[in-house]
């Protein structure tokens, strides 16, 4: 059995987090190492490693995560815009093997990233 990721430990309430939203399907919390003034992580409670491992039956779950992101952006009044980032794999910058969406805002975000 593999070791739990830090996100699974947050879901299981073994590690505290600044939770902004939670329902049966997902959890949203502030990043402990923010890359922008607003940096929220939105994760499914289902253990999905990355975008590459999303199953066809996860379609509704992924749509739900985007609606949660939209609602959090409204709640935080991110009216000037925001960026949603999903890293996939080592070369894509993924640091935790649990699918997660970064909601970034509060400063001018440059392009291209990285």
Task: List, for residues 33-62, the tens digit of each pLDDT value.
Answer: 999 999 999 999 999 999 999 999 999 999
- Is residue 114 very low, low, confident or very high in pLDDT (cuts 50, 70, 90)? low
Query: In this predicted structure, what is the pLDDT of residue 53?
Result: 98
Task: Write the CATH number for 79.
Answer: 3.30.428.10
Residue 113, domain member (yes or no): no
Domain presence at residue 65: yes
* 69: its two tokens: 């992101």
**pLDDT per residue over 56-87, tens digit each?**
999 999 999 999 999 999 999 999 999 999 99
Question: Would you say residue 17 lies in a domain?
Answer: yes
Which of 39, 64, 98, 100 is catalytic? The answer is 100
Domain of residue 95 covers 6-105
- Residue 110 lies inside a defined structural domain of this protein: no
Q: What percent of the chain has pLDDT over 90?
A: 94
Phi-psi map region of 20: left, alpha, beta (phi>0 left; psi -120 to 50 alpha): alpha
Q: How many domains does the chain have?
A: 1
**Is 93's pLDDT higher than 80?**
yes
Query: Is 98 marked active-site?
Result: no
Is 88 contained in some domain?
A: yes
Separation in Å, CA 75 to CA 34, 55, 68, 78:
19, 30, 10, 8
């Amino acid at each position: 059995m593999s070791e739990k990721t830090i996100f699974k430990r947050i879901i299981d309430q073994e590690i505290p987090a600044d939770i902004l939203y939670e329902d049966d399907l997902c959890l949203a919390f502030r990043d402990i190492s923010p890359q922008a003034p607003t940096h929220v992580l939105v994760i499914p409670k289902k253990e999905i490693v990355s975008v590459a491992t999303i199953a066809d039956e996860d379609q509704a779950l992924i749509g739900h995560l985007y609606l949660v992101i939209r609602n959090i952006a409204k709640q935080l009044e991110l009216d000037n815009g925001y960026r949603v980032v999903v890293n996939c794999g080592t070369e894509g910058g993924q640091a935790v093997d649990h699918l997660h969406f970064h909601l970034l805002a509060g400063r001018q975000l440059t392009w291209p990233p990285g």
